[in-house]
Amino acid sequence: MDGGIEIEGLRKRFGATQALDGMSFVVRPGRVTGFVGPNGAGKSTTMRVVLGLDAPDAGRALVGGHPYRSLAEPLRRLGSLLDTGALQPSRTARNHLLWLAHTQGLPQSRVDHVLGQVGLADAARRRAGGFSLGMRQRLGIAAALLGDPPTLMLDEPFNGLDPEGIRWIRALLVSLAAEGRAVLVSSHLMSELEGVADHLVVVGRGRVVADTGVRELLDGVAAGRVILRTTSPTAAATVLARAGATVRPSGPDALTVTGVSGEAIVSLLAGNGVSFAELSAHRVTLEEAYLELTREAVQFRASSDPEAGR
Amino acid sequence: MRTTREVRKMRPTGSMRTLHAEWTKFRTVRGWVLGCVGAALATVLFVLIGTVSSNQHPGGAAALPVGPGGEAVDDSYSFVHRTLTGDGSLTVQVTALTGVLSDPNGGPGRTSPGVTPWAKAGIIVTPSLTPGSSYVAVTATGAHGVRMQDDYVHDRAADLTGVPSPATPQWLRLVRAGRNVTGYDSTDGTHWTEIGTASVPGGAVQAGLFVTSPAAVQTDGGGGSSPATATGTFGRPALTGAWQGGWAYAQVGQDAGASGSYVPGTTGGYRANGDGAGVGFSITGAGDIAPVVGGPAGGPAFTVETFLVGTFVGLIVLGVLAAQFAAAEYRRGLLGLTLAATPKRGRVLGAKAVLVAAVAFVVGAGAAAVTLPLGEARAHAVHFAVLTVPAAEQLRAVLGTGLLLAAAAVLALSLGVLLRRSATAITALVAVTVLPYLLALGGMLPTGPAQWLLRLTPAAGFAVQQALPRYEQVLSVYTPANGYFPLPPWGGFAVLAGWALAALAAAAFVLRRRDA
């Protein structure tokens, strides 16, 4: 499958807002790429440029090596979910997919197949306007899967889903990537991508802040961070700080220590007679890693003009 | 991928796919499908309302006679005739054409001398005295010189331009040879000028002298009409050929028909002049031998336009649908999905335009095809005259109604794309089509501005429904207030189509330029 998306130096201005400011990254086949950033960071605009809906002021986006607007049967190349509200409320779910299928010359059997795939077979003949947000997400994903494309691009697919729905989407995304497809999933909540994304593109203010594998990111942030449980945190903090460690409280009887190794901590505390209950290497969540990464960008944001969302 | 290969076999072109998809979009929104039915019903039901309320002449006019061409005609005249069984000729001089007019401002019984411009005193050949029969005539007129006319709609000017008088008699001649009848005129009875040739059926025909006079029409102001009676004075008819029997008199047609009536105190009749039998005749008559037109010359009758008057309601309903078909894409962000599936934006707009045009055409032509016979049936039920038009004209009005709505739907769709909101688009559509139409034809504007509205605005397209005929040889008031469009049917439609295409081009331009 020659899937994948290449984004090169996209710039786009809406009035006074620079929505995209040199956005560049690549979505590769066979893995889920998380597209993360605060609201207004330019995620949706990037996706709209990929689909040819918005014209960039500079740069280009290629799908499988071609501009999207040059594709003869685009839904067979790239399946996308941009806006779950994009449906005529009085049209049934099945008819919503049927007209889409007709644009690509796809048969009705394909419509029924994807409806089953997203678990909407029983609701196929109900009006989509009466659907819950979760059902609309499933319908939107069905539309993305309709053309059996090698590349998928989903904007905030977890929005409005119950825990069961979130589990379902995660499993689906993982299986789609396992089939060799390129999958780009945006989210403003890093925690949603935990255990799903293999690769992360973190964006802020219209440009890429970090473009990294999830494993490397976690390893990098977690390096040298130790959790210390003790009944006398004040004494422990004093001893460790004197030895050059950075110490922060992380609970009533817990400290997070960086800057010194686990062995050094043990010997320092033992040597100074400070008792402790447990010493463990800290397991960093993706959320923490993300906050670490975007701290700078967020501070910058807070101190300058707010970015309009799109 | 299995599905990809499976699909490659059944493969229409991209444009057809887009059209197919847009059709699926349209037919799967129940409100839009019901709207189409509603548009057709509104158009049809309006005729029932219209034919109930205009029941001014209960039991009055029977069906108007229909001429050889299928059009409604007046065929009322005073006729002094003989039978001509084969070839032959009839020559006569007309020495006077005078008349009496009702004075419309003088109250009942007040009359004044005078003739109407198309009062006729002449000679005629016709196979039958039944109104609506074929004929060929050469006649002097009140103000249009000598004319040769046949089968109601054909009119030729002859050389002679004056009004007959004893000093300037107008000599008229008809020569029948086989199926052909040739007309001549002369100032002296010696030197003859051929006017033209027309045909009448073979066999025995009635030929002789006739007089008739359409009503006086006020061409300014309100445009009413008032009775007029004419009297023609003829010299001795000279006959050659296969004549049979003697002269007889007939009032052809009931009274004076739809277009004329006798001035109170006058009646149709004839008088032989001079000493002895048949030296000459004075004949008095009223009516006309001419096609029926609208306006004051027409008298009360239902027309194709009466039956199709509900079209503007159907146009509004279809306009709402077409505007929504565009605006719905913007309202819910559906356009993003549409253009993701079909990135060629011009193709999407083209498919939408073809679709709304096709739907509107079917609704319009279908409703008109039902409405015309329904309206005629209603008219007969209430004994109201119907101004019959030839089948080709009816067909044009039916297909034209479809095309009118199709073009209006394309205009509405384009406005929907340009303005992105259906309410705004519909308001604009009504303002440029229905409003000028109602203002102009409703008689709320002076003739000049009304005619300009119907030349320049998309409302000009309603002209394609025009079935009321307009003839030089029938004096009437051919203004919008009487249902007459200033442009011919297809000319008016071309104005609307031009607007629709211009709006479509503008919509294509902004759709390509704008971020979706």
| Amino acid type, A235 | A
Q: Using DSSP, state whether A279 is helix, strand or coil.
A: strand
Contact residues, chain B, for A80 at CB < 8 Å: 340
Cα distance between residue A283 and residue B511, in whole Å: 52
Cα distance between residue A151 and residue A145, in whole Å: 10
Q: How many angstroms separate the most distant Cα atoms in chain B?
A: 110
What part of B 457-516 touches A (C-beta under 8 Å)? 515-516
Q: What is the mean pLDDT of chain B?
A: 89
Contact residues, chain B, for A100 at CB < 8 Å: 21, 337, 341
Q: Kindly report the length of chain B.
A: 516
Cβ of residue B15 closer than 8 Å to a chain A Cβ:
no
DSSP state of B477: -
pTM recorded for the entire structure: 0.85
Q: Between B18, B28, B334, which is nearest A103 by CB?
A: B18
Question: Is pLDDT above 90 for A222?
Answer: no
What percent of chain B shows pLDDT beyond 70?
Answer: 91
Chain-centroid distance of CA A297 in Å reads 17
Asked whether the beta carbons of A10 and A46 are under 8 A apart, the reply is yes
Cα distance between residue A86 and residue B339, in whole Å: 12
Of B39, B24, B59, B40, nearest to B383 (Cα)? B59
Cα distance between residue B270 and residue B388, in whole Å: 32
The confidence score (pLDDT) of residue A249 equals 85
Q: What is the mean pLDDT of chain A?
A: 88
Residue environment code for A70-98, b if the CB has 16+ CB neighbours within 10 A, otherwise e: ebebbbbbbbbbbbbebbbebbbbbbbbb
Cα distance between residue B414 and residue B353, in whole Å: 8
Cα distance between residue B57 and residue B51, in whole Å: 12
CB contact under 8 A, B343 and A99: no
Contact residues, chain B, for A98 at CB < 8 Å: 24, 28
CB contact under 8 A, A88 and B332: yes
3-state SS string for chain A:
CCCCEEEEEEEEEECCEEEEEEEEEEECCCCEEEEECCCCCCHHHHHHHHCCCCCCCEEEEEECCECHHHCCCHHHCEEEECCCCCCCCCCEHHHHHHHHHHHCCCCHHHHHHHHHHCCCHHHCCCEHHHCCHHHHHHHHHHHHHCCCCCEEEEECCCCCCCHHHHHHHHHHHHHHHHCCCEEEEEECCHHHHCCCCCEEEEEECCEEEEEEEHHHHHHHHHCCEEEEECCCHHHHHHHHHHCCCEEEEEECCEEEEECCCHHHHHHHHHHCCCCCCEEEECCCCHHHHHHHHHHHHHHHHHHCCCCCCC
pLDDT in tens, B172-231: 999 999 999 999 999 998 999 999 999 998 889 999 999 999 988 877 656 678 889 999
CB contact under 8 A, B29 and A91: yes
Per-residue pLDDT of chain B (516 residues; tens, 9 = 90+): 444 444 444 456 789 999 999 999 999 999 999 999 999 999 898 887 777 655 454 444 556 889 999 888 999 999 999 999 999 999 999 999 999 998 766 666 788 899 999 999 999 999 999 999 999 999 999 999 999 999 999 999 998 788 898 889 999 999 999 999 999 999 998 999 999 999 998 889 999 999 999 988 877 656 678 889 999 999 999 999 999 989 999 999 876 555 567 888 788 889 888 755 457 899 999 999 999 888 877 667 788 888 998 999 999 999 999 999 999 999 988 999 999 999 999 999 999 999 999 999 999 999 999 999 998 888 888 778 888 888 999 999 999 999 999 999 999 999 999 999 999 999 999 999 999 999 999 888 898 999 999 999 999 999 999 988 889 999 888 889 888 999 999 999 999 999 999 999 999 999 999 998
Asked whether the beta carbons of B92 and B415 are under 8 A apart, the reply is no
Query: For chain A, what is the radius of gyration of the CA atoms?
Result: 23
Mutate to test the interface with A, among B1, B3, B331 (most CBs of A within 10 A): B3
Question: Is pLDDT above 90 for A82?
Answer: yes
Residue environment code for A206-240, b if the CB has 16+ CB neighbours within 10 A, otherwise e: bbbbbebebeebbeebbeebbbbbbeebeebbebb
pLDDT in tens, B274-308: 755 457 899 999 999 999 888 877 667 788 888 99
